[in-house]
């Protein structure tokens, strides 16, 4: 099982690093569908894996002189996402406590993630058809609020960043796909750091196999390096196509998980 988790972490982190979606949007539903550990453990391990990948990916991006991180807006989005990450964890803990049933929490997460992913897929299609006119927000307060909402959703869902990051950066800030991917990873990094600190400080770390944590974080590191190397060789259109394929896969897995958790709750 450890080898399987390592391979899943590597593959999802490679794709996550290329597309800027963190990888958790794939790790979380995939592990939920297998059912080898609790929903809380999957969320935590997914977040740790995404954090490891983001550290490597952002570090590689910053060392590249041609990096496209928006130094004016992205740090504001990142700080907002960090605050949202903490709030998202609190929301997750509250719903888990009220529900008293992890399967019900998993059902809610699956439905929300499926809805967000479908909405993102529709947006990307309309964008490609030139049916959407994007904005270019430069207001700090608006940027902070957008970042907060991104962090809240990603933390609650345990996916790191997910597809919504790219859609939001594209629509509200007129970033192209590769630029969105780079800036998304920076936002994911700050959000996941804040989320992990909050989890540790509140002693709400779920029970899990330490070996699973080690192999998944290791996979996240390897995936981060590999993903950045591949990203440099892909065109804007190729990254966008890969992203769209992933969205379809995520929707399919989420629907399966929703049915599975629904039968268990």
pLDDT in tens, 110-160: 999 999 999 999 998 898 888 888 999 999 999 999 999 998 888 888 776
The residue with tokens 């950066």 is 169
Torsions phi, psi for 132 (to 5 deg): -125, 130
pTM comes to 0.88
The number of folded domains in the chain is 1
DSSP H helical ranges for the chain: 2-19, 24-34, 39-63, 74-99, 102-128, 140-157, 163-173, 177-201, 210-231, 236-264
**How confident is the model over 146-199, as pLDDT tens digits?**
999 998 888 888 776 668 898 999 999 999 888 888 899 889 888 888 888 988
- Euclidean distance between CA atoms 225 and 197, whole angstroms: 24
Domain containing residue 195 = 2-264
């Amino acid at each position: 099982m450890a080898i399987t988790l390592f391979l899943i972490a590597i593959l999802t982190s490679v794709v996550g690093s290329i597309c800027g979606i963190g990888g958790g949007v794939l790790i979380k539903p995939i592990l939920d569908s297998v059912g080898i550990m609790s929903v809380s453990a999957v969320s935590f391990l997914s977040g740790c894996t995404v954090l490891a990948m983001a550290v490597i990916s952002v570090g590689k991006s910053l060392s590249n002189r041609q990096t496209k991180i928006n130094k004016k807006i992205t740090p504001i989005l990142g700080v907002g996402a960090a605050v949202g990450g903490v709030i998202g964890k609190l929301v997750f803990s509250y719903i888990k406590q009220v529900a008293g049933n992890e399967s019900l929490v998993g059902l809610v997460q699956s439905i929300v993630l499926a809805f967000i992913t479908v909405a993102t897929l529709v947006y990307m299609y309309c964008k490609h058809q030139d049916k959407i006119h994007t904005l270019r927000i430069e207001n700090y307060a608006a940027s902070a609020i957008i970042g907060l909402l991104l962090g809240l959703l990603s933390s609650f869902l345990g996916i790191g960043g997910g597809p919504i990051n790219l859609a939001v950066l594209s629509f509200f800030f007129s970033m192209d796909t590769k630029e969105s991917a780079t800036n998304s990873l920076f936002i994911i990094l700050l959000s996941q750091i804040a989320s992990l600190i909050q989890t540790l400080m509140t002693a709400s770390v779920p029970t899990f196999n330490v070996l699973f944590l080690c192999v998944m974080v290791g996979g996240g590191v390897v995936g981060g390096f590999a993903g950045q190397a591949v990203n440099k060789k892909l065109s804007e259109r190729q990254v966008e196509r890969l992203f769209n394929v992933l969205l379809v896969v995520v929707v399919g897995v989420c629907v399966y998980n929703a049915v599975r958790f629904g039968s268990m709750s």
